[in-house]
Structure 1
Amino acid sequence: MIEAKDFIEAARARGIDRYAGVPCSYLTPFINYVLQDPTLHYLSAANEGDAVAVNAGVALAGGVGITMMQNSGLGNAVSPLTSLTWTFGLPQLLIVTWRGQPGVADEPQHALMGPITPQLLDLMEIPWELFPTERGQIEPALERAFAYMSSTGRPYALLMQKGSVAPVALARALTPSSSNRHDMSVRHEPVAQTLPARREALERVIALTPVEKNVVFASTGFCGRELYALDDRPNQLYMVGSMGCVTPLALGFALMRPDLRVVAVDGDGAALMRMGVFATLGSYGPRNLLHILLDNGVHDSTGGQHSVSPNVSFAGVAAACGYGEAREGSALSVVDALFAQTASAGCRFAGLNIRPGTPDGLPRPTVTPVQVRDRLQRHIGIGARHFSTTTGAKP
């Protein structure tokens, strides 16, 4: 058994001060220690996949975060671990608790996940080892983890067994630092006679985000593809896969780079898939983060099947979750107004209703995800990455 302080301070010495995750009783000492240190940052995510995406954003901005979860939460994290961190080459250290470990009595819900946890990590090509249980094991474990992450740009996992860390009491319960919670009504913009096209909305976003001080993240599917077709700029990132993860990715990045305005362009289908992240953004979202949702009421890139977004006020959700500002409308002025206003605290939201449809022959990006990552990182001035840019190579 080790002390939480010993591991966390060893990680801090390597530059890690950001943690994100979902609690597990095995992780309680870690979380309690981090929560009570004002120089460390813990982000309580709505689900494990969101936590992975947040720390992917931290990595994109040049840092490394620790993502903590129970092994049951690996199911929630499979998508961003296999189509975001792996695809773009964005490392993070995973601490996964081993509930249901063979030979250790546990609850029935862990009966299957416990035995298959190592194989699941292996299938996702995430190398792992047991979490250190002696002080002398901490530095060698971190050395192996950082050597792998630096050489590959991919996550490394430590599998934590029961009783690995000594208890830490929570002397004071800290809430997220954002002070957004207040009674706020949704701001409604004028209704357009004709709904704008996605192209028009993206053209407006491009016009409002000069390259020098803005970074734009576009959701997977036609949103990213059309942004690329309009203007492939070095300050843009096009999500591939990881549906619903564009906002937590942007959140992690924005927290690391308060000097930049970060714009996440979302879609209704993606937002519906991970609506819990609205609460996370409302609690932790910084004022330099703008969330724009283009709502056409359909899954356009898969044939135009209807989503359930006509029954949802996304701006109402954002307001209820504590965003610094929330507005919606069907005219492009909703986007203009979002950029014109400055909230006293917290991220800002605009929901824009657009019409379905996509131009014929819309191209896919010819730049690879790794090339997009490298170009963006050079653009924001963090230099070349230390890890390999080879995508698809096995460890």
Structure 2
Amino acid sequence: MIAAESFTRAARRLGFSLWTGVPCSYLQPLINQAIGDPGLRYIPASNEGDAVAIAAGFELGGELAVVMCQNSGLGNAVNPLSSLTHTHRIPLLLIVSLRGDPEGGHDEPQHELMGAITTRLLETLQIPWRYFPTDETRIESCLNEAKAWMLTERRPFCLVMRKASVAPVAVPAAHSATLRPLSAEADDCTQSPTATRGAMLRALQKNAGVRDIVLATTGYTGRELYALDDRRNQLYLVGAMGCVSSLALGLALARPDLRVIALDGDGALLMRLGALAAIGHAAPPNLVHILLDNGQHESTGGQQTVSGGIRLACIASACAYPRALTVSGTEALEAQLQARKAGPVFIRALIAPGVPENLPRPAITPVEVTERLRNHLAALPRETR
């Protein structure tokens, strides 16, 4: 058994400064230590997949992050681990608890199967793993091995934690939460779309400079943004549906000197509504979350979503976005982008369905576009705001 502080201190020396995830009793000491350490930042994620995306965005910004979750939650993270961090080659450190350990005695029945297959699942995902260190003398070498592999291969590494690996840590004093007033502009039920996706994206690009980083959700949004004008400050997700806002959150935390713009879709947003709560809690003032809402899963044939009957800007406002509103035309979107109000800002941009003919797929690969963005970010001097 090791002390939580010994592990977090060693990890911090190696550059791991953001911790995120979903709690497990095995992980409680590390989580409590991360929350109570003023040198670290802990972001409570709504689910494990969101945590992976938050950590991935943080890494894009030039920093390293740790994702903690129970092995049952590893199932929630399979998609972003397979189609975000693997596809775009983004490294992060996973710490996964081994509930249902085949060698660990009795556990609850819901952990039996996942306990038996956890390490095999990691291997199927092509994520190398080691058991979490239980000897203080092994901490540094374990972390060094993980970091070396992460930076060489640009993919995640996992430490599998067995029961009682870390000594207990008291729960830090709870922070008092203050309810923020609802945005006066949030009621979004009276407008109709007057612009296409392409028109909204042109308006965005017109108002986005080199210090504005644009992350586009999967499907037609990224493809159309690319077709309009492929830029070094843009990234196009090809998978990990619903993860773009969490990716943007991580990047916004790593680079508070830049404006980070997440381009979301209604189907994607509805898939991971819990991300709104994490963004509202973390409250990065440099994050702009734009929802391009046409009421359809257009990339898969135009199947209807339920967004038309949901007050999505009101939900964002209730999740503590200081500003949440709806726009239905390009002029209104441009006005919001030019105002540069402190965020996080949620803009529901209503758009008419429709896709340009012969819309190309990006010729640049996910790895290439990610490295290009990473290099663009590294070249931008860090400014104090």
1:217 counterpart residue number: 215
Confirm or deny that 1:48 pairs with 2:45. Answer: no
- Describe how 1:273-292 pairs up with structure 2 within 5 A: 273-292=271-290
- Describe how 1:129-140 pairs up with structure 2 within 5 A: 129-140=130-141
TM-score, length basis structure 1: 0.92
1:348 counterpart residue number: 345
- Describe how 1:235-314 pairs up with structure 2 within 5 A: 235-314=233-312
Contact conserved, 1:327 with 1:334, CA < 8 A, in 2? no
Confirm or deny that 1:183 pairs with 2:178. Answer: no
- Describe how 1:114-133 pairs up with structure 2 within 5 A: 114-133=115-134
Question: What 5-or-longer segments of structure 2 have no aligned partner?
Answer: 381-385
CA shift for structure 1 position 195: 2.5
CA shift for structure 1 position 285: 3.1
Confirm or deny that 1:376 pairs with 2:373. Answer: yes
Deviations 1:136-194 (A, max 9, x none): 11111112101111110000000000000000012412368xx7722333346897776
Residue 363 to residue 175, structure 1, CA distance change in 2 (3 Å): farther
Distance 2:302 2:168 in 1: 52
2:383 counterpart residue number: none
2:16 counterpart residue number: 16
1:89 counterpart residue number: 89
CA shift for structure 1 position 343: 4.2
Deviations 1:338-389 (A, max 9, x none): 2244545x40011011111101110000001111111112212259xxxxxx
The count of residues paired between Structure 1 and Structure 2 equals 379
Distance 1:289 1:42 in 2: 18
Among 318, 321, 324, the alignment partner of 2:322 is 324
Contact conserved, 2:61 with 2:255, CA < 8 A, in 1? yes
Deviations 1:43-82 (A, max 9, x none): 0000000000000001111111000000000111001100
Confirm or deny that 1:163 pairs with 2:164. Answer: yes
Distance 2:303 2:63 in 1: 39
What secondary structure is seen at the aligned counterpart in 2 of 1:8?
helix
What secondary structure is seen at the aligned counterpart in 1 of 2:213?
strand
Residue 77 to residue 194, structure 1, CA distance change in 2 (3 Å): closer
Distance 1:53 1:260 in 2: 19
Distance 1:152 1:180 in 2: 43
What secondary structure is seen at the aligned counterpart in 1 of 2:325?
strand
Distance 1:135 1:192 in 2: 60
What secondary structure is seen at the aligned counterpart in 1 of 2:79?
helix
Give the percent of matched residue pairs that are identical in Structure 1 and Structure 2.
50
1:149 counterpart residue number: 150
Contact conserved, 1:191 with 1:330, CA < 8 A, in 2? no
Deviations 1:225-254 (A, max 9, x none): 000000001000001110000000011001
Stretches of 4+ moved more than 4 A in 1?
187-194
CA shift for structure 1 position 263: 0.4
Distance 1:376 1:249 in 2: 13
Distance 1:194 1:62 in 2: 38
Distance 1:180 1:233 in 2: 39
Distance 2:77 2:379 in 1: 27
Distance 1:230 1:45 in 2: 34
1:198 counterpart residue number: 197
Letter aligned with residue 120 of structure 1: L
Deviations 1:244-270 (A, max 9, x none): 000000110011101111100100000
Distance 1:272 1:123 in 2: 29
Question: What 5-or-longer segments of structure 1 have no aligned partner?
Answer: 384-395
Distance 2:319 2:328 in 1: 22
Contact conserved, 1:268 with 1:297, CA < 8 A, in 2? yes
What secondary structure is seen at the aligned counterpart in 1 of 2:214?
strand
- Considering only aligned residues, what root-mean-square deviation do their CA atoms show, in Å? 1.8
Confirm or deny that 1:337 pairs with 2:338. Answer: no
Contact conserved, 2:133 with 2:142, CA < 8 A, in 1? yes
Distance 1:337 1:151 in 2: 43
